[in-house]
Amino acid sequence: MAVADANSFCKITEYFDEKFFEEALSKGLGCRNLRIIRLKFSMGAEGGDYFSSWLYRVEALYSVEDSTAKKISLICKMCNVGDKVGFEVNSFTKEKRMYVGILPKLHQILRDVKFAPQCFHTVDEPAATFILEDMKASHYSLADRSVGLDENHCRVVLEKLAQFHAASILLIDSNPVIKETRELQGGLFSSLDLKVKRHEKFVRQNLNFLIEHTKTWQGYEEVTEKLIKLDEHKLLNRLTDALQISPDNVVVLNHGDMWTNNFLFKYCKLQQTPVDAVLIDFQNSAFGSPGIDVNYFLASSPRLDVLENKKDYLIEEVYYREFKSTLEKNGCEYIPSLQIIRNEVRKNMVFGFVCCIGFFPILLMNKEESINNSLKSFANPNALKSAISTERYLDMMRFWLKENDQYGLFNN
């Protein structure tokens, strides 16, 4: 999501008045005769934190019939009408389907697990907008994306992701046709929406920016030669092939955008360690392999030391253990083995690498460098070249280049 400018901030108070929020709260709280007493608007995110929406915090003072006035904090998320990529993949209709149709079902399946903020209301006009529970009021907050997640944060996220995936399998088992939900058949990185020709030039450009650095790294001579010779058309075709769903695949509902700023954490007050996380931003959710979300998360979010020392542990002892446990507790007849999940993750490593090349340079920039970032940054060669030159990104790529080369990803 992108932080709004002054004009858009003025528009929200014009579009969304007391009457609008009376309808939203009445719907979300399930009560009648609700009256808004006062509304207070403020910005909901810092510059560079989000890219495809405008985010506002709304404090509402309200009463129901003659009751004492109560206060509630909400998030107003307005989709960016200039987001052409989001328009192509119907991100609003996809996210609306998730918040209104799917997430309530997942919460019914795992009643003691909270996956996401409650959605109070959605409207299509004058701008596609969600009114959401403000998780800050329940003491949830963002982690610092500029340094990456430590082991404790990764554990909490992967446990929640495992529960999310497991709940979606249970949902599919109880209602198989839900896999055919039209809005959830493709996302930004799915085979249904991937425009190979559109991305080839983009991938080659960023590979060349990266090669300028790898040529100077001792011990990366062979990898550099492979990157120079790498056929980006074949690479993206391999991505398309990997994302195809075959009958023998494990199929889950993927979040689709598993990076640090799409998790909100609740902390233990005494030790400041994370004890829970919720997921936000379901604009890219789609049915597919669990390897998609796992690879996206591992490539985008953990600190380097966590990847170097705990990657397999996080997959096997954190994600898979919670995934299996959740399915067992809920009487699932077929539970994929650890080896099957390993295979799903390995098959989709190409997905993680393309994300590393195409999207993560901008996402991994520190706050000072990314304060003015928007979706346009992804199409700006100068911005991308600068982002690919950051210390954190290059350190991460030292790890992922070796890791992917080990599995033959760069062999044409």
Over residues 36-65, the pLDDT tens digits come to 999 999 887 665 455 567 889 999 999 998
Name, in order, each residue with C-beta under 8 angstroms of 165's C-beta and a sequence gap of 6 or more: 252, 253, 254, 290, 293, 323
> For residue range 141-178, what is the model confidence (pLDDT) as tens digits?
999 888 899 999 999 999 999 999 999 999 999 999 99
Domain count of the chain? 2
**pLDDT band, residue 344 (cuts 50/70/90):** very high
1: confidence class by pLDDT, cuts 50, 70, 90: very low
Please name the residue that has the structure tokens 């944060």: 153
Q: Domain of residue 354: give its range.
A: 139-406
Q: Is the peptide bond before 290 cis (omega within 30 degrees of 0)?
A: no
| pLDDT score of 204 more than 70 | yes
* Average pLDDT of the residues in 298-309: 96
Which residues make beta-bridge pairs with 387? Answer: none
Q: What is the pLDDT of residue 269?
A: 80
Please, what's the largest Cα pairwise distance for the chain?
75
Q: Identify any residues that bridge with 133 across adjacent strands, giving them in sequence order.
A: 74
CA distance 8 to 24: 20
Region 312-325: mean pLDDT is 98
Based on the fold, state whether residues 17 and 58 are members of the same structural domain: yes
Does 196 have pLDDT greater than 90?
no
How confident is the model at residue 201, as a pLDDT? 84
Looking at every residue in the chain, the average pLDDT score rounds to 87
Q: Residues 289, 361: one domain?
A: yes
Same domain, 204 and 267: yes
397 & 299 share domain: yes
Check pLDDT > 60 for residue 94.
Answer: yes
CA distance 370 to 364: 9
Q: Is 76 helix (H, G, I), strand (E, B) or coil?
A: strand
Q: Quick check: 4 and 13 in contact, CB under 8 A? A: no
Q: Which parts of 244-380 fold into alpha helices (H)?
A: 290-300, 304-313, 321-329, 338-347, 349-358, 360-363, 367-370
User: Does position 102 have pLDDT exceeding 50, yes or no?
Assistant: yes
Q: Are residues 204 and 266 in the same domain?
A: yes
- Residue-wise over 90-105: b if at least 16 C-beta within 10 A, else e? bbbebbbbbbeebbee
Q: Which residues of 307-339 are buried (b: 16+ CB within 10 A; e: fewer)?
A: beebeeebbeebbbebbbebbeeeeeeeebeee
Residues 239 and 145 both lie in one domain: yes
85: confidence class by pLDDT, cuts 50, 70, 90: very low
pTM of the model as a whole: 0.91
Q: Which of 102, 132, 162 is the last residue of a domain?
A: 132
Q: Answer whether residue 198 shows pLDDT above 70.
A: no
For residue 193, pLDDT over 80 is answered with no
* pLDDT for residue 379: 64
Do 143 and 127 reside in the same domain of the chain?
Answer: no
pLDDT at 367 over 50: yes
Instruction: Report the CATH number at residue 48.
Output: 3.30.200
Comparing 93 with 81, the larger pLDDT belongs to 93
* pLDDT reading at 83 higher than 50: no
241 and 211 within one domain: yes
pLDDT at 135 over 70: yes
**pLDDT-derived band at 13, boundaries 50, 70, 90:** low
Could you tell me which residue, 352 or 15, shows the higher pLDDT?
352
